[in-house]
Structure 1
Amino acid sequence: MEPIYHFEYTETEKTFQDMYLMFYQSRSGYGYKLTIFFMGLLILFMQVSPDPSIVTPKYIIQVAVIWALAFLLGFLGNKYIYAGFNRKNAVKSGAEAYAQRVEKRGTELHVSIDCYEEEFVVSFQEKQEQHTYHEVTRLMETSTMFGTVVGGVRGQKKMVSFPKDALKEADIDDFRRFMTGKCTNVAGGFKELKV
């Protein structure tokens, strides 16, 4: 059976770096939000005493303003400081992973991804991985890469990412719509990550 969409590429050091950057960016947005949210709750509960007269409208407004400022600082820190660390780590991790892959196999890895009606198949060298669209829990993209997170519905989560320019004889927007329609466990389609 012919695939509906076909991707084909040879892994390079740049491909690995782009994959790692997508991975780091995909998880960085949640970290600071969760940290600030739970720290704010902790501080709020620590301040509440048995004396209800302390919890005044003025007090609630002060807590809300401080909490909002903490989120703003976290957002700016994530965007301008943590993003720099992500880039640096992605370049380093991508170069190391690529070198290990070439050393282990003795050659660059040729990868193909075939999207069928009910599943997509990732093939490299002698190995194949099959994933149903129902297993996809996240869709993301950068200017150069597509990424999916599979698993978590059952079993361990895994990121499958691939270069946009590896798509053969098809339109990227059509592929994006296809995946958004098929991956019913993902709300809102592809999340665009700024890298």
Structure 2
Amino acid sequence: MKAEYQFKYDETLEVLTDIMELHGASKVSKNFRIFVASGGVFVFVFMAFYSDYFKGSTGHMVFAFAKFLIGWALAFIIAEILARTVGRKFELTASAGDAETVYEKRLKIYKKPLSVRVDFYENSCISYVEKNKKETAYSDVQRILENDTVIAFIVRGEEFGKRFWGLSKKGLTDGDIDGFRTFLLQKCTGVKKGIEEIKTK
């Protein structure tokens, strides 16, 4: 059966770095939000049970709680700003370092960059990385991410939770990337936000 779309390329250090940077950048805001959310709960519990902040008349408690909520909301805004600036820069640097480490380990095993081929069929796609073959159903795709050079997927996993994997756009052997985007949105019905553009450069 002929694939609707096919990607074929060697996963060089540059390609692997682009993929891992996209992965890292996609997690930054979520990590900061989790930190602020959990920190806010901790502070609320501490103030409610171990301080006099919420004690007093009903009016005082309502006013104190309102101030706490406003402060918590401001913390989320500040966290998002930090995530998109300092956090993103730090994550991209870390991702580039991780990519270099992974690439060097693979070179020791395979003696060359990994050969990648992914065939996209009607109901699923099949990836071939060296001698490893894996099929992914479109119904398991939860998010589609993209930057200038990579298109990637977050997939519901059976054993290890969500799985991330990406493709180099330069590897598309036939057709155009716009047509491929349309194809993905038609097939991946579990994707709610469309194709999310993530800035990495």
**Match in the other structure for 1:28:** 28
1:55 aligned counterpart, secondary structure = helix
Residue 119 of structure 2 aligns with an amino acid whose one-letter code is: D
The Cα offsets for residues 85-140 of structure 1, whole Å up to 9 and x where unpaired, read as 11211221111111111110112211111100011011122221111111212211
AA aligned to 1:9 is: Y
Secondary structure in structure 1 of the residue aligned to 2:112: coil
Letter matched to residue 192 of structure 1 = E
Matched residue, 1:159: 164
Find the counterpart in structure 2 of residue 55 from structure 1. Answer: 61
TM-score normalised to the size of structure 1? 0.90
| Aligned partner of residue 118 in structure 2, secondary structure | strand
1:64 aligned onto 2:69: yes
Query: How many equivalent pairs are there?
Result: 193
Match of 1:136 among 138, 141, 144: 141
Alignment match, 1:170: 175
1:75 to 80, 95, 119: 80
Partner of 2:39: 39
Distance of 1:31 and 1:126 partners within structure 2 = 35
CA distance in 2, matches of 1:50, 1:32: 31
Structure-to-structure mapping, 1:100-139, within 5 angstroms = 100-139=105-144
Quick check: 2:25–2:92 contact (8 Å CA) kept in 1? no
Q: Normalising to structure 2: TM-score of the pair?
A: 0.88
Residue in 2 that maps onto 1:187: 192
Equivalence for 2:2: 2
Q: Which runs of 5+ in 2 are unaligned?
A: 49-53
Residues 107 and 113 in structure 2, CA contact (< 8 A), matched pair in contact too:
yes
Aligned residue identity for 1:144: T
Give me the CA root mean square deviation.
1.8
Deviation at 1:146, TM superposition (A): 0.6
Equivalent of residue 100 in structure 2, options 76, 95, 98? 95
- 1:124-174 Cα offsets, whole Å, 9 max, x none, are 22221111111212211111111112233x322321101112112212122
> What letter corresponds to residue 190 of structure 2 in structure 1?
N
Query: Which of 71, 84, 91 lines up with 1:86 in the alignment?
Result: 91
Q: Give the CA deviation at 1:51.
A: 4.7
- Letter of the 1:186 partner, please give it: V
Distance, in Å, in 2 between the alignment partners of 1:44 and 1:127 is 49
2:17 pairs with 1:12: no
Structure 1 runs of 4+ off > 6 angstroms?
none
Unaligned runs of 5+ in 1: none
- Is 2:143–2:193's contact at 8 Å kept on the other side of the alignment? no
